[in-house]
Amino acid sequence: MTDLFGGHPETTTLSDSEVQFLDTTLRDGEQAPGVSLTPTEKAEIATKLDSAGVGVIEAGSACTGAGERETIDRVTSLGLDATVTSFARGVKRDIDLALDCDVDGVNLVVPASDRHIEDKVETTRESVIETAVELTEYATDHGLWVEVLGEDGSRADLDFLERLMRRAFEAGADRSCYCDTVGHATPDRTLSVVSRLTALGPTSTHTHDDLGLAVTNALVSVAAGADLVHATINGIGERAGNVALEEVAIALEHGYDVETIDTAALYDLAQTVAGSTDVPLAPNKAVVGENAFTHESGIHTDGTLKDEAMYEPYPPALVGRERRLVLGKHAGRAGVRAGLDEHGIDVTDEELSTIVDRVKTIGDRGRRVTDADLLTIAEEVQGRDRDRRVELLDLTAASGGPTPTASARLAVDGEERVASGVGSGPVDAAVSAVREALAIDATLESYRVDAITGGTDALVTVEVEVSHNDRSVTVTASDADITRASVVAMVDAFDRLLSATTPVPLAND
């Protein structure tokens, strides 16, 4: 048993009893502005949540409409181990619609604060209690698992909230839920409320991040006895979002030895939800952000190479990640040498010093130093030429007609190859022509125009990331013609990948 509050005599402790998640990505998360999930996307996310060991999945709100009920039906038909629920307001019809979707339970929400009771619903406290009791009995009589949520509970009169939930339990509710609906609560308020509710029966916690306290309040809730945490993947949701499931899961496991789900599935879940919702992950997002296990600083890279735990709280594999050492203006000798070693390049101390200076110069211009950049720098410093397997000899592209076309002439292992391609634009057509000429199954992972200079001799810089046979390379190229810059970068990336592997057969024409 670990004391979350430093042994304060008036607080409780975070026990090692079982804690589970109720994931509401498919309901509360989808209420984020601009987010709308298809039945297929909801089914995919639900399946991955279930595989990760999430105990309860709130699949949506059956009362929303026919389309929403279709998505809930899709989830309930998957045969998941998780309990699948529907959000239900304090009206009988919502429960009936949830039953039609064959859910296992309902998350029954009734107003708890006077602001919601009197101003929103225009009713009385006694009427709210009567409704909660009546609908709880109705739902349980129909075999549903029932969780009663007191909306805006963090701003409710605590004596009334306690009375409401006591009556709900007496009516057969399986659990109550503390709702910090508007992210209003401080940790001490959360502790007071949840401690009172857990004395009545099983209690959940539902926190929002409007004050940046969602994770803290979720942990305080668990310390106060809550054993089910409502959360969303990536913390998506209305306003500042819900508490992020991945952050609570790793905080409980790493900080308090409380295991909840298979944390190795977190990064894949994060990527799936980010892709389905078109809500990208911030690079500095805890646990799943691109920079969470990325090191550039020379001091940090050197320390990490000596001891992987030097600058990381837990190993990246715990959440399905890999460590990345990148080069830029803060790079040091250890990081640069590690990058060279990865490509099998031996350098003297003098050569290494020159390469580090060159890397820092590029970084000072605001650019990330790619694998291709590092290899090129090393080649120039050592005065050697790389044996190229692929070279671009000629490129033509036309976009005046209805379908953009392009033709590329390449030298592949000394053999000339010519191929043509079509695409949605001249760049797409040119890249298709190069792929056709090489007949290589490399994947274009990312493509972006990195910078455009001004003036009549404007240069466009294109950056591509290409992967092949479990290796990837990032290459940049600049030219006044965006099509040529794109193809030069692609060809150089293909050449780097092929030259770095044991002979890779290139298909004949």
pLDDT, tens digit, for every residue of 9-19?
Answer: 344 455 456 89
Point out the least confidently predicted range of 216-220, 377-381, 391-395: 377-381
- Split at pLDDT 50, 70, 90, the class of 308 is low
Tokens in use for 22? 């109720």
Please tell me the distance from the alpha carbon of residue 346 to that of residue 324, in angstroms, as a whole number: 21
Q: What is the pLDDT of residue 298?
A: 46
State whether residue 4 is helix, strand or coil.
coil
Query: Tokens 């026990």 sit at which residue?
Result: 15
Q: What is the pLDDT of residue 504?
A: 42
Per-residue pLDDT, averaged over 41-50, amounts to 97
Residues 6+ apart with CB under 8 A from 112: 128, 150, 151, 152, 153, 156, 160, 161, 164, 179
Give me the architecture of the 294-382 domain, per CATH: Orthogonal Bundle (1.10)
**Is the distance from CB of 15 to CB of 1 less than 8 angstroms?**
yes
Greater model confidence, 345 or 123: 123
Rounded to 5 degrees, what angle do the CA atoms 245, 221, 316 make? 35
Q: Where in the chain is the domain with CATH 3.20.20.70?
A: 20-277
Looking at the whole model, is its pTM more than 0.75?
no
Q: What is the pLDDT of residue 10?
A: 43
Tens of pLDDT, residue by residue over 457-482, are 557 778 787 887 766 777 777 777 88
Q: What is the pLDDT of residue 379?
A: 78
For domain 20-277, the CATH superfamily is: Aldolase class I (3.20.20.70)
Tens of pLDDT, residue by residue over 81-92, are 999 999 999 999
Rounded to 5 degrees, what angle do the CA atoms 475, 478, 480 make? 150
**By percentage, how much of the chain surpasses pLDDT 90?**
52
Tokens in use for 345? 């390049």
Closest listed residue to residue 74, CA positions, set 98, 97, 49, 46: 46
**By percentage, how much of the chain surpasses pLDDT 70?**
84
Q: Where in the chain is the domain with CATH 3.30.160.270?
A: 390-499
Tens of pLDDT, residue by residue over 123-162, are 999 999 999 999 999 999 999 999 999 999 999 999 999 9
Average of per-residue pLDDT values in the chain:
85
C-alpha distances in angstroms, 342 versus 327, 371, 471? 13, 10, 11
Tens of pLDDT, residue by residue over 68-84, are 999 999 999 999 999 99
Greater model confidence, 381 or 100: 100
Does 361 score more than 50 pLDDT?
yes
Q: What is the pLDDT of residue 484?
A: 86
Please tell me the distance from the alpha carbon of residue 280 to that of residue 271, in angstroms, as a whole number: 9
Q: What is the pLDDT of residue 457?
A: 53
**Is the distance from CB of 8 to CB of 39 less than 8 angstroms?**
no
Strand residue runs (E) in 134-192: 145-151, 175-180
Q: What is the pLDDT of residue 383?
A: 75
Please tell me the distance from the alpha carbon of residue 161 to that of residue 372, in angstroms, as a whole number: 62
Q: What is the pLDDT of residue 509?
A: 42
Query: Which CATH code for domain 390-499?
Result: 3.30.160.270
Does 508 score more than 50 pLDDT?
no
Tokens in use for 60? 């949506």
Tens of pLDDT, residue by residue over 426-451, are 888 888 888 888 877 778 887 878 65
Q: What is the pLDDT of residue 448?
A: 79
Cross-strand pairs, 422: 405
Tens of pLDDT, residue by residue over 207-261, are 999 999 999 999 999 999 999 999 999 999 999 999 999 999 999 999 999 999 9
Provide the Cα torsion 244, 250, 252, 254; round to 10°: -160
Residues 6+ apart with CB under 8 A from 61: 27, 68, 86, 87, 88, 94
Mean pLDDT highest for which of 34-38, 318-322, 395-399, 420-424?
Answer: 34-38
